[in-house]
Each structure stands twice: as structure tokens, then as C-alpha cells.
Amino acid sequence: MSKSAFVAIVGRPSAGKSTLLNTLCGEKISIVTPLPQTTRNKVRGILTESRGQLVFVDTPGFHDSQRKFNLHMRDLVSGALEETDMVLYVIDATRSPGQEEQALAQLLTQEDHPVITVLNKSDAPPAPGWEDFFATFRDSNAPGLSISAATGQGIEALKDLLFESAPEGDPMYPEEYYTDQDPSFRISEIIREQAMLRNRDEIPHSLYVEVADLEEDPDTNLLWIRAFIVVERESQKGIVVGKGGTQIKAIRQTAQKEIARLFPQKIHLDLRVKASPKWRNKDALLRRLIR
């Protein structure tokens, strides 16, 4: 009988959840930067093998903060736990356990679903305190493994454990699917990744991306995209644009190349910058962006 399950991937910011999702599915599904809290949404990646199908739900990092923006992302994590069949708890072995880790572990001990723990970044020297924490948590939940999402170490063993723990069921998506993200979301995430990487020391978390138009011209086989990088203050627009427009040009060119890998058409990306004051405090916008 085939196995089938939704698997929530949870952990602290920068634990390597998105890298693990991409490694498990063999495709770049979730954007990755060295910055914490890069993931803002539930991002689904689909792994289909002869033994079944696993649908992974990458979630934002569990962050202990009362800011409205972070509360919306914590609600997203809680919602993912309620909607999935299993939990994959990712621990960063290079950072000692702290208050956030304790809070998340406490939340997961209340889970009715199987919880599989992975001690990630095992290719680097571990921080103190993990051995006892990991052993205690693992003994009270599903088995755990040491892995490296970046190098692939332990990934096949993790897949085996996930399929063994998954319930029986039929596939939820066609075999050729590796994600169910809509085109506008994937485009906006690629642009946001490049904008964050090129502004990582200035305003990485003060921006989001809005795809305003997608127009396809079948005669020229051209997909024309108009998108905006939205920042919080007028003064931040110049940082994103850069001197003589060099920064926004570099973001546009790199993002356009990435987007071109997803579509059969030729891509033209029209990318601009605008300001939306205090957008991280606007509930209606946050509900639309963080979902």
C-alpha cells in the first residue's frame, strides 16, 4: 500500500528548513538566504516515489516576539501543525538551545501527530547543550537523526524514516508536481530573494514584492512581468535602486534569469520600487502576504 502524508517542517529561524525542503524534493522550491526569517509563508514541496508521496510544508521560523509581523508568522506555524499528518522538527546544531527552542519543543510535545527530529548542520562543530536536549526530546517523541541539509548527509535515511512513519494513502498531487505554488507567488519570492541578498545589511526585512501584472504574448512567446519591490520608507527606495540604478538593475537581471528557468516563454521583467509606510503593521496586508 502506498504512503501519503502532509509533513510540517518547523524550527527556529535559520535552522535550515528551506534548504532541507529543497534537498528532500530535489528542486529549488523555497528561497534561501543567510538571513533569518527569510520564509514568510507556508511553502509546499512534493516528493513522489514508488513508495508514496510526501507533501512538505515549509514554515516561517518560530520566533519569540510580540511584534505584529512575527505574530502573524507564528500563527502560520500553529496552523500548519493543525493541518498536517506529521511534523519534521529541524534543530540547528551550531546554536545552543535557548528560550525559543524550549518554547517550540514544549509546543511539539503536545502534538498528536508523529514528530521526527533532525539535528541539522552536522557537518559543522556542534554548539554546547544539544546532546542532552536532543536526546530528551527524541526519546519522548518519534526517532531522530543527525543530518546536513546543505551536503545531503543523512537525507536518504531521513526519507526512509519519513515514509516508514507516514500513514497509508493515495497521492494528493500528480506525479510530475514538485510544488503547488502559483506563478505570481514563485515570481515574487525569486525577486524578494535577490532583493534581500543585495540589501542584507540595510533593509532585508523591510521589503516585500508585489507582482502587479503578468501578460503573455503568444506571437512573440514573451511573458511580460511588472513587479514592485515595496519598502517601508521613502528613504529606503534609494538604497534598493542604488547609485545610477545599479542595484535595481542587478536585482532585475538575476531574478529574470531565475524566473526564466520556470517558464517556457522568454521573460521580460519590469521591476520598480515604491514605499508603503509601516506596512508591517497593516493587518489586512499581512494576512494577504503571510499565508
Predicted pLDDT at 70: 74
Residue 291 has pLDDT above 90, yes or no: no
Predicted pLDDT at 137: 62
Provide the total of helices (H) and of strands (E) in the chain, helices listed first: 9, 9
Predicted pLDDT at 40: 87
Confidence of residue 66 (pLDDT cuts 50, 70, 90): low
Check the annotation: does 61 bind a ligand: yes
Check the annotation: does 16 bind a ligand: yes
Predicted pLDDT at 37: 83
Predicted pLDDT at 149: 96
Check the annotation: does 201 bind a ligand: no
Per 3-state DSSP, the chain is made up of helix, strand and coil in percentages (nearest 5) of 35, 25, 40
Check the annotation: does 65 bind a ligand: no
Residue 142 has pLDDT above 90, yes or no: no
Check the annotation: does 13 bind a ligand: yes
Confidence of residue 184 (pLDDT cuts 50, 70, 90): very high
Check the annotation: does 124 bind a ligand: no
CA distances from 217 to 8, 214, 220, 261, 268 (A): 38, 10, 6, 18, 11
Check the annotation: does 60 bind a ligand: yes
Predicted pLDDT at 143: 54
Residue 147 has pLDDT above 70, yes or no: yes
What is the rounded distance in angstroms from the CA atom of residue 291 to the CA atom of residue 288? Answer: 7
Residue 131 has pLDDT above 80, yes or no: no
Check the annotation: does 18 bind a ligand: yes
Check the annotation: does 58 bind a ligand: yes
This prediction's pTM = 0.91
Q: CB–CB of 93/144 below 8 Å?
A: no
Residue 83 has pLDDT above 90, yes or no: no
Q: What is the mean pLDDT of residues 139-146?
A: 63
Residue 200 has pLDDT above 70, yes or no: yes
Amino acid symbol at 268:
H
Residue 16 has pLDDT above 80, yes or no: yes
Residue 263 has pLDDT above 90, yes or no: yes
Check the annotation: does 128 bind a ligand: no
Predicted pLDDT at 155: 97
Check the annotation: does 17 bind a ligand: yes
Q: What is the mean pLDDT of residues 266-271?
A: 97
Q: What is the mean pLDDT of residues 156-183?
A: 95
Predicted pLDDT at 163: 96
Over pLDDT 70: what percentage of the chain? 95
Check the annotation: does 64 bind a ligand: no
Domains of the chain: 3-165 (3.40.50.300), 183-289 (3.30.300.20)
Q: Which stretches of the chain are assigned E, i.e. beta strand?
A: 3-11, 43-49, 52-58, 86-92, 115-120, 144-146, 208-217, 222-231, 266-275
Predicted pLDDT at 68: 75
Over pLDDT 90: what percentage of the chain? 63
Q: What is the mean pLDDT of residues 72-85?
A: 83
Residue 144 has pLDDT above 80, yes or no: no
Q: Which of 30-39, 158-167, 204-213, 216-225 is predicted with the least confidence, judged by mean pLDDT?
A: 30-39
Confidence of residue 287 (pLDDT cuts 50, 70, 90): confident
Predicted pLDDT at 85: 95
